[in-house]
Amino acid sequence: MIRIREALAVEGKYDEMRLRQAVDTLIIPTGGFRIFKDPERVAWLRRVARDRGLIVLTDSDGAGLVIRAYLQKVLPPQQIRQAYIPPVPGKEKRKQAPSKEGLLGVEGLPAEVLLAALRRAGAHIEGEQTAPPFALTPAQLYRDGLAGRPGSAALRARFLAQLGLPAHITPKQLPQALRFAVTQEEYRRTLAAAQDFLKKSEAGG
């Protein structure tokens, strides 16, 4: 088990239970979409974010990203970090049917996957040194073809897939998603691989 400085905001109680097996920190469930009408919980999250920092860790499906976007809007962006889990097909054991998108949520993933997501988000882990941030600008996204150009959506989807990140991440969210997840060299290498993959796919088609 690791100890981190930041608190965690998750969707529900089963996510909280899963993380408590791997992480020693304050974990606050949002109650899913109930957070939209829960000003007291939002105020609590705001205080925690101010005092110790907050990492948002939601499922990789559309619902998780809606909750994430809401928290990013109502909380000070400079006091929160975004942790993304990879889109893994599957169904949690307690559920009779898979989710709408057929992906495992936080509660269904192994501890090592969750810890990797927290490290990519730049969590301050006791006994470990946090990697320096990678600054990605909207201008660079445009220059590299990841936003604002014909074919940007396809390139971005392949780029995210190679990094094990959800395809739902928008160009606006991408700089923060990559801030502690990659180095400049890893970014360049992954981008080149994604571009090469698409070129070969087009040539084969």
Helix and strand numbers, DSSP H then E, in the chain: 8, 6
Question: What local confidence, expressed as pLDDT, does residue 204 receive?
Answer: 73
Q: What is the pLDDT of residues 84-97, one digit of tens each?
A: 999 898 888 888 77
Question: What local confidence, expressed as pLDDT, does residue 140 receive?
Answer: 96
Q: What is the mean pLDDT of residues 3-14?
A: 96
Which residues is 83 bridged to in the sheet?
57
Question: What local confidence, expressed as pLDDT, does residue 35 receive?
Answer: 96
Neighbours of 203 (CB within 10 A): 7
Residue ranges and CATH numbers for the domains of the chain are 2-120 (3.40.1360.10), 138-204 (no CATH)
Backbone angles phi, psi at 29, to 5 degrees: -75, 140
Question: What local confidence, expressed as pLDDT, does residue 205 receive?
Answer: 55
Mean pLDDT of the chain: 92
Q: What is the mean pLDDT of residues 133-159?
A: 95
Neighbours of 14 (CB within 10 A): 17
